[in-house]
Structure 1
Amino acid sequence: MSVGLSGVALAAALTVPAYGASDAASGSAPGDASQAGPYGAGWQLTETGTDARFRGLAAVDRRTAWAAGSKGTVLRTTDGGRSWRNVSPPGAGELELRDVEAFDARRAVVLAIGEGEASRVLRTEDGGATWTESFRNTDPRAFYDCMTFFDRRHGLAMSDPVDGKFRILSTRDGGRSWAVLPDAGMPAALPGEAGFAASGQCLVSSGPRDVWMATGGGATARVLHSRDRGLNWTVAQSTIPAGDPARGVFGLAFRDRAHGISVGGDYRAGQASPQAAAVTDDGGRRWTAASAPPPAYRSGVAWLPYARTAALAVGPTGTDLTVDGGRTWRTVDTGSYDTVDCTRDGACWASGEKGRIARLSGR
């Protein structure tokens, strides 16, 4: 069923390519009703066959996407969401997979989170038929949250602070091997500051060397930026409120090296999340609060393809749309999603609790 982005002409106003009926993902989730807007644009829920919660999502193209979630679950589609194949790593049922980075239909890297040895990285080169564990954290003080790749070879993963500084893990061979980077160029963390493993978007990159990290939990929420693949960092204060372990910046998206959006708030149900979004046009040196932010906590954000000023933000209480680069937002759907990802060829996907994975469809 198509869960519509009500009242928003996505297919026309945002010039997102329309998908024909033969391309639309099939299936529905129990209890979901069709709320398609007048242009038929909306989230098309797919049948996943699982109740896992998918906070990790990697959209490759219109046909291919990967999702990673609770109970060590990894799913992959190569037919636009018509079917999902369970390609979970054997024996991974106790792992919390919170991030996945995919290069194509065969190669992907997943991150398991948790204290000590619960934080791991696994890699596949054959579409999930086999997996190799390429990193297992042996430091009980470290807790890895997110990862990002600049290209098919170079990537980073981030841990909550160890000895007063965030720890950065680096790979130069596509995730086959990892090494902890020196922390001389990392600013000191605030008391209580950490990252949020909520959407796989607390560490994001744009281009061959720029990377940003989102934080919360401390007195203020911050966004850190590195121009040299994680060796040296600068820090900027966010307008998104923190001051509590449940509040801060949860997700980032950068359209290019300059233009970025941050989203967050307070993840506890029923808690207010004022100023839940902010924007930057200078690479994260300064952040400006959205003048009309999403009305509640949002954990994931993605720029829409073919529309330089349009983006979607998602969270447990809904999806919001901006068409002015993140300055104003409008709630367009009330379905629960944790993360969202879009591809250069015009596909957008979202995933979340109870096995929910959806594709943005316009007919």
Structure 2
Amino acid sequence: MRWKPWMGRALAAAAACLLLPLGLGLSPGAAAAAPPTAASCGSGDHGLLQDLQKKHSEAGREPLHFTDIQFLSRSTGRAAGTGFILGTSDAGCHWQTVYEGPWQFGQIDFTDNVHGWALASLPSNPAPVLLRTADGGSHWKGVYTGKLHFERIQFLSAKTGFGYTATGAYRTDNGGNGWVKVPTPANTRYSVFNDTKTGYALTVEPGQGYRIYQTRDGGRSWAAKLKVKAASTAGGQIYSKDNQVWAILYGDSGMSQVSYSLYGRTDQGSHWKRVIAQDTAGGGPAPGSGKATVSSGPAQPGGHPGNMQLYGKETAILAGGSPAGGMVSIGVTYDGGNTWKNIKPSVNGFDARISFVNAKTGWMAVTSATKASIYSTQDGGATWSRKFAFREALQP
């Protein structure tokens, strides 16, 4: 999973030409086959990459694990990890190796079933580099970014996208051949764009807390939309899509716990609501003040927020993991944060990344101390079905 401010302390304790039955060779925009019925769907675990897992174990390296997951439809998706990408086009009933090699993927971002981008590193050099593929992920080429080192990427099309550093944003309109700096407010620590015009930036104000700004002209001007007092400013994340905008603001962390607040709204940031305010013994008070919809996020005790998925006008889904509790789960709102439900944890693990294609159908890549698994849900996370897992223990 991508690095978050709390992880250092909390965790110290091809595809375009895949086999036709899997359908990942569909041309861009082509409709994928409908998901198979439950009766025709197996477990999906057909021994993929077990030899590679064994090699890693014999070499004394960490077990293979998933780092990102992305589904383009109910049927077609990819899961990336440490030296591999897997793909499915029948809703996870069967998986196929899309890529196997040295790249350790941190993030993947496909704009269609053929064109994709990734941030990845090599075992010999942990610094992430930008890669792109034009065959669904089977082969990757490096993209020259000069002295820029992106921590996140976001592509709107095969030509237009954003690369984000720790303090700024850059845009390309020619498929990565050239990058232009997007002006952001001073002390920016996170930014994100809906399109080439509308974007949001999270800034830290030393000794005061956080501020969230909005631009409607591609960064030429910014307007403050939210101010949150906080004793500790460890950073945060912003998620936005259409009318929705959500901000995760971190407090402090300790004892495998993290304090944070989740603010959100459905009017492009004109008004905000404090939805989650999670205080913890190890991390202290959550940033901000005032009543929140709920007093804790998913996956207790002291759950760490993962990534968010936004769907429609009012649905927001947040992943969470609890190293202390050894469980992962999600929380969800269907009304823009007026109500919030933390789904009871039911999956073992300490970190999770989600990809939802609608309000009910989603996928979760889970990392635990002993295995890496992919789960799916058809009921908004109330129940999860494991579709793929590396063997928990390699037997002779």
Instruction: Pick the TM interval, shorter chain.
Output: 0.5 to 0.7
For 2:127, the equivalent position in structure 1 comes to 118
Residue-pair matches, total: 297
Counterpart amino acid of 1:261?
W
| CA distance in structure 1 between the partners assigned to 2:79 and 2:106 by the alignment | 9
| CA distance in structure 2 between the partners assigned to 1:268 and 1:59 by the alignment | 34
Q: Which has the higher contact order (CA 8 A, sep 6+)?
A: 1
Residues 89-128 of structure 1, C-alpha deviations (whole Å, 9 max, x = no match):
7432xx4x332211222221112379x9823111111122
| CA distance in structure 2 between the partners assigned to 1:217 and 1:186 by the alignment | 15
2:141 is aligned with 1:129: no
How far apart are 1:194 and its partner, in Å? 3.5
2:316 is aligned with 1:311: yes
User: What aligned pairs does 1:197-236 form with structure 2 within 5 A after superposition?
Assistant: 204-207=192-195, 209-214=197-202, 220-230=209-219, 232-236=221-225
For 2:171, the equivalent position in structure 1 comes to 170
Q: In the alignment, is the contact (CA less than 8 A) between 2:210 and 2:229 conserved in 1? A: yes
For 1:35, the equivalent position in structure 2 comes to none
For 1:283, the equivalent position in structure 2 comes to 268
| CA distance in structure 1 between the partners assigned to 2:121 and 2:268 by the alignment | 28
Query: Mind listing any 5+ residue stretches in structure 1 that lack a counterpart?
Result: 1-16, 29-45, 196-202
2:95 is aligned with 1:84: yes
Name the stretch that deviates more: 287-296 or 313-322. 287-296
Query: Mind listing any 5+ residue stretches in structure 2 that lack a counterpart?
Result: 1-33, 54-62, 276-291, 298-302, 323-328, 384-396
Q: In the alignment, is the contact (CA less than 8 A) between 1:106 and 1:127 conserved in 2? A: yes
Taking a change above 3 Å as real, the CA distance of residues 144 and 105 of structure 1, as seen in their structure-2 partners, is same
| CA distance in structure 1 between the partners assigned to 2:108 and 2:239 by the alignment | 16
| CA distance in structure 2 between the partners assigned to 1:136 and 1:288 by the alignment | 38
How far apart are 1:262 and its partner, in Å? 2.7
Q: In the alignment, is the contact (CA less than 8 A) between 2:85 and 2:100 conserved in 1? A: yes
Q: In the alignment, is the contact (CA less than 8 A) between 1:102 and 1:109 conserved in 2? A: yes
Match of 1:127, SS state, is coil
Taking a change above 3 Å as real, the CA distance of residues 241 and 324 of structure 1, as seen in their structure-2 partners, is farther
Name the stretch that deviates more: 286-295 or 204-213. 204-213
| CA distance in structure 1 between the partners assigned to 2:113 and 2:359 by the alignment | 15
For 1:4, the equivalent position in structure 2 comes to none
| CA distance in structure 1 between the partners assigned to 2:70 and 2:372 by the alignment | 15
For 1:351, the equivalent position in structure 2 comes to 365
For 2:31, the equivalent position in structure 1 comes to none
| CA distance in structure 2 between the partners assigned to 1:23 and 1:204 by the alignment | 41
Counterpart amino acid of 1:282?
D
| CA distance in structure 2 between the partners assigned to 1:113 and 1:215 by the alignment | 28
For 2:11, the equivalent position in structure 1 comes to none
| CA distance in structure 2 between the partners assigned to 1:359 and 1:298 by the alignment | 19
TM-score by length of 1: 0.67
Q: In the alignment, is the contact (CA less than 8 A) between 1:23 and 1:80 conserved in 2? A: no
For 2:147, the equivalent position in structure 1 comes to 138
Q: In the alignment, is the contact (CA less than 8 A) between 2:106 and 2:119 conserved in 1? A: yes
The alignment yields a C-alpha RMSD, in angstroms, of 3.8
Counterpart amino acid of 1:112?
A
| CA distance in structure 2 between the partners assigned to 1:146 and 1:242 by the alignment | 27
Residues 143-180 of structure 1, C-alpha deviations (whole Å, 9 max, x = no match):
4221212334211011013xxxx2x222223x442414
Taking a change above 3 Å as real, the CA distance of residues 77 and 286 of structure 1, as seen in their structure-2 partners, is same
Q: In the alignment, is the contact (CA less than 8 A) between 1:278 and 1:287 conserved in 2? A: yes
Taking a change above 3 Å as real, the CA distance of residues 22 and 171 of structure 1, as seen in their structure-2 partners, is farther
Of Structure 1 and Structure 2, the greater strand share is in 2
| CA distance in structure 2 between the partners assigned to 1:48 and 1:218 by the alignment | 48
Counterpart amino acid of 1:226?
T
| CA distance in structure 2 between the partners assigned to 1:188 and 1:89 by the alignment | 41
For 1:200, the equivalent position in structure 2 comes to none
Residues 167-215 of structure 1, C-alpha deviations (whole Å, 9 max, x = no match):
x222223x4424141x5x32111xxx634xxxxxxx5443563233456
2:350 is aligned with 1:339: no
How far apart are 1:234 and its partner, in Å? 4.1
2:198 is aligned with 1:187: no
| CA distance in structure 2 between the partners assigned to 1:146 and 1:104 by the alignment | 19
For 1:301, the equivalent position in structure 2 comes to 308
How far apart are 1:130 and its partner, in Å? 1.3
User: What aligned pairs does 1:140-159 form with structure 2 within 5 A after superposition?
Assistant: 143-159=149-165
Taking a change above 3 Å as real, the CA distance of residues 340 and 134 of structure 1, as seen in their structure-2 partners, is same
Residues 51-93 of structure 1, C-alpha deviations (whole Å, 9 max, x = no match):
5444433221111122334x3443322221223333347432x
| CA distance in structure 2 between the partners assigned to 1:159 and 1:239 by the alignment | 23
2:68 is aligned with 1:60: no
For 2:378, the equivalent position in structure 1 comes to 361
How far apart are 1:222 and its partner, in Å? 4.0
2:257 is aligned with 1:271: yes
For 2:334, the equivalent position in structure 1 comes to 323
TM-score by length of 2: 0.62
| CA distance in structure 2 between the partners assigned to 1:271 and 1:286 by the alignment | 29
For 1:74, the equivalent position in structure 2 comes to 85
Computing the radius of gyration over CA atoms, which structure comes out larger, 1 or 2?
Answer: 2
| CA distance in structure 2 between the partners assigned to 1:264 and 1:156 by the alignment | 22
Identity, % of aligned positions = 21
